[in-house]
């Protein structure tokens, strides 16, 4: 550098102008207080043990019940620091300060340094996380039937294997043909056909054994199977949402959309396979089939020779309405369709899809969609004002009120009240249609014990009981898979 060159050109800053701290000038290396740790470290020297109150990379402080027989400046060799009974540091220290009555002292380490990162690793990762796992594992190993544990391990092993196989194929497919829509589906279908029967059979067997568990054993079991199986299932968006509940709940509309989608999504073949698996396992097929029951009811209403009104409660992605709009040829009379969901994203996404399908028809069908960002609670107990007005003035004279995928969350008493409330929205001749899934050994076990998604399944008797509160006779019908029951009632 020449005398005339400004310093900043060479070193990026005028070094003479660099600043120190504006306050708190004394620099101290990072320090960990023992009360921030799960286990207080202990220090041994001179044949005695002391509590370590804080520690830094260059020193530590201890407390003693008896006065310490040491003096400032004294060197002490053979010092050992233990964390939860494991030796973590050893070396020499120098006494740098003594507290009141010599019952506390500060030291400077003079051989090497103390790694705070290692201390935190031991404290948080080993002694908290891993320790908790080991305690739980021990409890699970003794509290859960051996056969049951072995079956869960089999499922895990089968998931690992199919994952590895699909990854290997994907890697070998240098032209990435697996990504093509048809190819993806064919590869997943072939894999499912080969692999799923054994997998589902084990899940069914587990369901039988699990049904005998008492509440404590069930808790242990859920933890065991979810921890193990989600390792592999977390790659699937449906399973991950069910387990992680990203919106505080699963964000079901997206799960339902993926379960009923024609195209498989995902950046790996394995991810797509997990979506395919959700679609093809028995209850996945039922989710599609129950939509067909709703579609038939919608079509029946649309065939009436007059304007009509339909309400879908907990509409989610409303795949059945998408099919209706796409496939129904002549729609001569106006149809007002009210989509009600507490999830704004569900409504936005669904309305976009429905509007797009309407536009693609090219004949501008006389269908008007009304989205109500409304929850069941607002329907059952609307606040005075706009809410009450909406329920009493808008949600009335309806030709069809239907709901699928909501009652599976409602306890019987609330479900009955809801049935009654929805029935009250109907015009004369209007129809109420309420779907509820039936417990299905393999799928229900997987949904619950792998993905932590807990549903209220209903029997035919419980469905009849739902309808018993109505002023008319109701009937219970089933979808084509026989795994979704519908309460159906006509007003008048």
Ligand X SMILES: C[S@@+](CC[C@H](N)C(=O)[O-])C[C@H]1O[C@@H](n2cnc3c(N)ncnc32)[C@H](O)[C@@H]1O
For the CA atoms of 309, 312, 315, 321, what is the dihedral angle to 10 degrees?
-50
Which phi and psi angles does 102 have, rounded to 5°? 55, 30
Minimum distance from CB of 21 to ligand X (Å)?
53
116 or 414: whose CB is closer to ligand X?
414
Among 405, 419, 422, 478, binds ligand X (CB under 6 A): 405
Part of the chain binding ligand X (CB under 6 A), chosen from 84-92, 191-199, 316-324, 425-433: 316-324
Listed ranges 137-145, 192-200, 339-347, 353-361: which one lies at the site for ligand X (CB under 6 A): 339-347
Strands 48-56 and 104-109 turn out to be unpaired
Pairing of strands 474-478, 426-437: unpaired
Q: How many residues bind ligand X (CB under 6 A)?
A: 17
**252 counts as binding ligand X under rule CB under 6 A:** yes
Q: Which is nearer to ligand X, 276 or 453 (CB)?
A: 453
The Cα-based distances of 251 to 238, 328, 352, 453 in angstroms read 10, 29, 18, 12
Question: In the complex with ligand X, which residue's Cβ is closer, 106 or 317?
Answer: 317
**DSSP result, 30-99:** -EEEGGGSSS--EEEETTEEEEEEEEESSEEEEE-SSPP---TT-EEEEEEEEETTEEEEEEEEEEEEE-
Kindly write out the interface string for residues 317-336 of this chain, putting x where it contacts ligand X by CB under 6 A and - elsewhere.
Answer: x-x-----------------
Q: Does 399 bind ligand X (CB under 6 A)?
A: no
Q: How far is the CB of 62 from ligand X (least distance, A)?
A: 57
Pick one of 232, 341, 431, 448: the residue that binds ligand X (CB under 6 A): 341
Q: Which stretch binds ligand X (CB under 6 A): 105-113, 217-225, 360-368, 399-407?
A: 399-407
Does 123 engage in binding with ligand X (CB under 6 A)? Answer: no
The dihedral sign for the CA sequence 128, 129, 134, 136 = positive
Question: How far is residue 417's CA from residue 410's CA, in Å, rounded to a whole number?
Answer: 10
The distance of closest approach from Cβ of residue 282 to ligand X in the complex, given in angstroms and rounded to an integer, is: 16
Distance in Å, CB of 289 to ligand X, minimum:
11
Q: Which is nearer to ligand X, 302 or 406 (CB)?
A: 406
Which of these ranges, 19-27, 297-305, 337-345, 389-397, lies near ligand X under the rule CB under 6 A? 337-345
Using CB under 6 A, pick the residue from 346, 401, 446, 487 that binds ligand X: 346
String of contacts with ligand X for each residue 368-397, x by CB under 6 A:
-------xx---------------------
Binding mask 168-197 for ligand X (x = CB under 6 A): ------------------------------
Q: Using the rule CB under 6 A, which residue among 123, 343, 399, 448 binds ligand X?
A: 343
Strand order in the sheet with 308-313: 367-373, 335-341, 308-313, 398-403, 426-437, 484-490, 474-478
Binding piece for ligand X, criterion CB under 6 A, among 136-144, 252-260, 321-329, 390-398: 252-260
Of the residues 266, 316, 430, 467, which one makes contact with ligand X according to CB under 6 A? 316
Q: How far is CA 450 from CA 159, 226, 265, in A?
A: 12, 4, 21
Phi-psi map region of 98: left, alpha, beta (phi>0 left; psi -120 to 50 alpha):
beta
Residue 404 near ligand X by CB under 6 A: yes
Q: Which is nearer to ligand X, 156 or 290 (CB)?
A: 290
The count of other CB atoms within 10 Å of the CB of residue 194 is 11
Q: Which residue has the tokens 């009120």?
A: 401
Q: Rounded to the nearest whole angstrom, what is the least distance from the CB of residue 253 to ligand X in the complex?
A: 4
Q: Kindly tell me which of 248 and 492 has the beta carbon lying closer to ligand X.
A: 248
Buried b (16+ CB within 10 A) or exposed e, 308-329: bbbbbbbbbbbbbbbbbbeebe
Nearest distance from residue 433's CB to ligand X, in Å? 11
Contacts 24+ apart (CB under 8 A), 183-191: 184/263, 184/264, 184/269, 184/272, 185/264, 185/276, 187/269, 187/273, 188/264, 188/269, 188/272, 188/273, 188/276, 188/277, 189/276, 189/280, 191/162, 191/165, 191/166, 191/273
Closest approach of ligand X to the CB of residue 281, in Å: 16
Q: Is 406 in the site for ligand X (CB under 6 A)?
A: yes
Nearer to ligand X, 187 or 288 (CB): 288
Nearest approach in angstroms of CB 484 to ligand X is 9
Determine if 350 is a binding residue for ligand X (CB under 6 A): no
Residue 385 DSSP symbol: T
CB atoms closer than 10 angstroms to residue 379: 20
**Nearest to ligand X of 30, 327 (CB atom):** 327
253 is a site residue for ligand X (CB under 6 A): yes
Instruction: Measure the CA–CA gap between 44 and 90, rounded to whole angstroms.
Output: 9
- Sign for the pseudo-dihedral over CA of 475, 469, 453, 205: negative
DSSP 3-state of 298: helix
Task: State the residues that interact with ligand X by CB under 6 A.
Answer: 252-253, 256, 314-317, 319, 341-343, 346, 375-376, 404-406
């Amino acid at each position: 550098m020449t005398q005339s060159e400004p310093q900043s050109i060479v070193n990026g800053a005028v070094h003479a102008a660099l600043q120190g701290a504006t306050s708190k000038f004394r620099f101290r290396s990072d320090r960990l207080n023992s009360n921030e740790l799960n286990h207080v470290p202990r220090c041994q020297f001179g044949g005695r043990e002391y509590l370590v109150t804080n520690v830094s990379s260059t020193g530590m402080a201890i407390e003693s019940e008896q006065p310490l027989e040491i003096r400032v400046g004294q060197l002490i060799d053979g010092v050992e620091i233990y964390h939860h009974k494991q030796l973590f540091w050893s070396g020499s220290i120098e006494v740098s300060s003594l507290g009141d009555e010599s019952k506390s002292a500060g030291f400077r380490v003079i051989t090497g340094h103390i790694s705070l990162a290692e201390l935190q690793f031991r404290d948080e990762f080993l002694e908290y996380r891993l320790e908790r796992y080991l305690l739980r594992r021990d409890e699970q190993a003794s509290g859960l039937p051996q056969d049951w544990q072995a079956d869960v391990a089999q499922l895990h092993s089968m998931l690992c294997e199919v994952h590895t196989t699909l990854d290997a194929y994907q890697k070998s497919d240098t032209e990435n043909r697996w990504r093509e829509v048809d190819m993806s589906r064919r590869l997943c279908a072939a894999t499912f056909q080969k692999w799923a029967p054994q997998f589902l059979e084990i899940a069914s067997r587990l369901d039988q054994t699990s049904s005998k568990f008492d509440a404590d054993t069930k808790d242990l079991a859920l933890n065991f199977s979810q921890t193990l199986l989600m390792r592999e299932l977390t790659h699937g968006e449906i399973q991950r949402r069910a387990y992680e509940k990203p919106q505080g709940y699963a964000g079901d509309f997206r799960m339902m959309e993926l379960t009923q989608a024609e195209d498989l999504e995902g950046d790996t073949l394995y991810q797509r396979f997990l979506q395919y698996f959700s679609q093809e396992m028995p209850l996945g097929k039922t989710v599609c089939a129950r939509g067909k029951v709703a579609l038939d009811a919608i079509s029946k209403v649309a065939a009436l020779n007059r304007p009509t009104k339909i309400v879908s409660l907990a509409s989610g992605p409303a795949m059945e309405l998408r099919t209706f709009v796409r496939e129904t040829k002549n729609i001569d009379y106006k149809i007002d369709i009210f989509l009600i969901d507490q999830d704004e994203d569900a409504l936005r996404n669904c309305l976009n899809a429905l509007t797009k399908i309407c536009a693609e028809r090219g004949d501008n069908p006389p269908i008007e969609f009304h989205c109500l960002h409304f929850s069941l609670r607002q329907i059952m107990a609307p606040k005075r004002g706009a809410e009450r007005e909406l329920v009493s003035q808008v949600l009335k004279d309806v030709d069809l009120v239907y709901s699928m995928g909501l009652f599976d969350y409602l306890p019987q008493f609330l479900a009955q009240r809801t049935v009654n409330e929805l029935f009250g929205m109907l015009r004369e001749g209007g129809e109420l249609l309420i779907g509820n899934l039936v417990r299905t050994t393999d799928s229900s076990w997987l949904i619950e014990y792998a993905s932590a998604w807990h549903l209220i399944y209903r029997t035919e008797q419980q469905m009849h009981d739902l309808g018993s509160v109505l002023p008319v006779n109701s009937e219970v019908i089933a979808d084509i898979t026989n795994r979704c029951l519908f309460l159906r009632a006509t007003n008048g």
